[in-house]
Amino acid sequence: MSTTHEEIAVTPRSALSAGSLRDLIDADLYMPFPFQCNRHAAEAAAGVETWLRRWGLTDEPGVARMIARTRPAELAAYNSPTLDAELLQIVANQIAYQFVFDDRAEEVGRQGAAHLLPMLCESVAILRDGEPPSTPLGAALTDLYDQVQNRCTPAQAARWAWNSREYVHGLLYEAVAQEGTGAVRTGLCESIRSLIAGVEPFFPLCEAAQAGGLHAEELHHPAMRRLRRLSADAAVWIPDLFSAVKEQRTGGMINLALAYQRAHRCSLSMAIMLAIQQINCTIREFENLYEDVKPELSPAGVGYVEGMAGWIRGCYFWSRTVPRYGDTATTPALL
C-alpha cells in the first residue's frame, strides 16, 4: 500500500485532542477484535521465569529486567486466549526467547553485521541440521525446538523451523541496514520488518491447537497465505506505533512509523498517523478476506484463522500497557 503526504494534509481531529501518542493511537487504530486473555496466564509467566533460569539466560546482565518490562507470558496470553496450558507455555517461552535473542542481536550488531554471524549460524545449524548448541542461547533454542517437536506433527515442526530460520536471517538484514549510511526506504523497512517480526513461527503452533489439523489444500490455499501475511504484518506494525519513541531515542531504523517520518520529514505524531492508515487497511483486508472464505473453511481452518486474528488483537492490547513501551503514554501527541 502506498500512502502519499497529500492524503494527510489535514491533521486528524484526534491528533488535536489526544493528550499522548498512546491516546492518538487508541483513537485512530481500527481494532475489531475484542480483548481476551488466556486463563493460564499466571502459570505461563511462572513457567517462563523457570525456563529462562534453567538455561542461564537470566544470568546475563539486564535480561531479568528486560523480561519484567516486556512480559512475554502476558503477550502470549493475549495473543492465544484459547490455547491449553502446555501449548501456551511453548508460545510464552518462544516469545521470551525471541526477545532475549533479538536484544542480543541488536547489541552485537552495533559492532557490525559480521559480528552477528556466530550466533546466527549456530541458530541455523540447530534449526536446519539438528547440530548441538555451544552457547546458552543455543541450548535454549534446542530445548524450545524439542518442545515444538514433542507437541506438533513433523510437518508442523518443519514449518516452525523454516519460519524461525527466516527470522534469524532477518536479523542479519536488520544489522546491515542499521550500519548503512543512507536512510532505509519505507518499502525496504517493511520487507526487513516482516522477517524480524518473529510472528510467523507461531502459526504452526496455531495449527497444532486445532483438533485433526488442517488439510494441505486448505493450509496452502492462496487466501490462507494472504491471511498469514496480513496477520503477521498487522501484528508487528502495531507494536511499531508504540515503540517508535523508544526506537527513535536509541537510533533504531526498522520501524514502520519511523520509516514514514524519514520519508515525509514530518512530526512523529503525523508519521504514526500514516502508519495507522496502512495498518487499518491491512486489518480491514484481513477481516474482509476472512469473511469471504470462512464459509469454505473446516472447523480447524476457522480456528487457525482465529489464531491469526489473535495475534493482531493481542499485540495491540499488550503494546499499549507494557512497560517496554511506556514512553508512548507520556509523550505528547503533537510534536
Section 166-195 average pLDDT: 85
269 within 8 A of 333, measured Cβ to Cβ: yes
pLDDT at position 17: 56
CB atoms within 10 A of CB 283: 26
**How would residue 335 be classed by pLDDT, with cut points 50, 70 and 90?**
low
Q: Spell out the residues 6+ positions from residue 228 whose beta carbon is closer than 8 angstroms to its own.
A: 200, 203, 308
Q: Where are the domains of the chain?
A: 5-329
Mean pLDDT of 56-74: 95
Alpha helices by DSSP H, 180-255: 186-196, 203-208, 216-219, 222-250
Closest alpha carbon to 140 in 123, 156, 128 = 123
Relative orientation angle of helices 268-293 and 21-28, to the nearest 10 degrees:
30
Per-residue pLDDT, 6: 32
Distance CA 175, CA 84 (A): 37
Q: Is 57 helix (H, G, I), strand (E, B) or coil?
A: helix
Buried b or exposed e, range 231-240, using 16+ CB within 10 angstroms: bbbbbbbbbb
Q: Give me the mean pLDDT over the 159-174 stretch.
A: 94
User: Which 3 state secondary structure label does DSSP give 199?
Assistant: coil
Residue 260 near residue 279, CB atoms below 8 Å: no
Instruction: Give the pLDDT mean for 235-255.
Output: 91
| Angle separating helix axes 136-151 and 117-129, nearest 10 degrees | 30
155 contact partners, CB below 8 Å, separation of at least 6: none
- Residue 180 has φ and ψ, to the nearest 5°, of -75, 160
Answer yes or no: are the C-beta atoms of 29 and 275 closer than 8 Å. no
Output the CA–CA distances (angstroms, integers) from residue 201 to 100, 148, 299, 311, 322, in the order listed.
16, 11, 22, 12, 22
Average pLDDT of the chain to the nearest whole number: 91
Residue 320 backbone dihedrals phi, psi, to 5 degrees: -75, -15
Lowest mean pLDDT among 222-226, 246-250, 289-293, 300-304: 246-250
**Cell numbers at 127, concatenated:** 534449526
pLDDT at 107 over 50: yes
**Radius of gyration of the chain measured on its C-alpha atoms:** 19
Q: Could you tell me the pTM of the whole model?
A: 0.92
* pLDDT tens readout for residues 251-292: 888 899 999 999 999 999 999 999 999 999 999 999 999 999
Residue 114 has pLDDT above 80, yes or no: yes
Indicate left, alpha or beta for 71 from its phi (over 0: left) and psi (-120 to 50: alpha): left
8 Å CB contact between 38 and 29: no
pLDDT tens, 139-164?
A: 999 999 999 999 999 999 999 999 99
Kindly tell me if the per-residue pLDDT of 2 is higher than 80: no
- Where does 5-329 sit in CATH, by number? 1.10.600.10
Indicate whether 90 pLDDT > 50: yes
Q: Within 13 Å of residue 228, how many CA atoms lie on the same side as its CB?
A: 20
CB 314 within 8 A of CB 78: yes
The band of 188, judged by pLDDT with boundaries at 50, 70 and 90, is confident
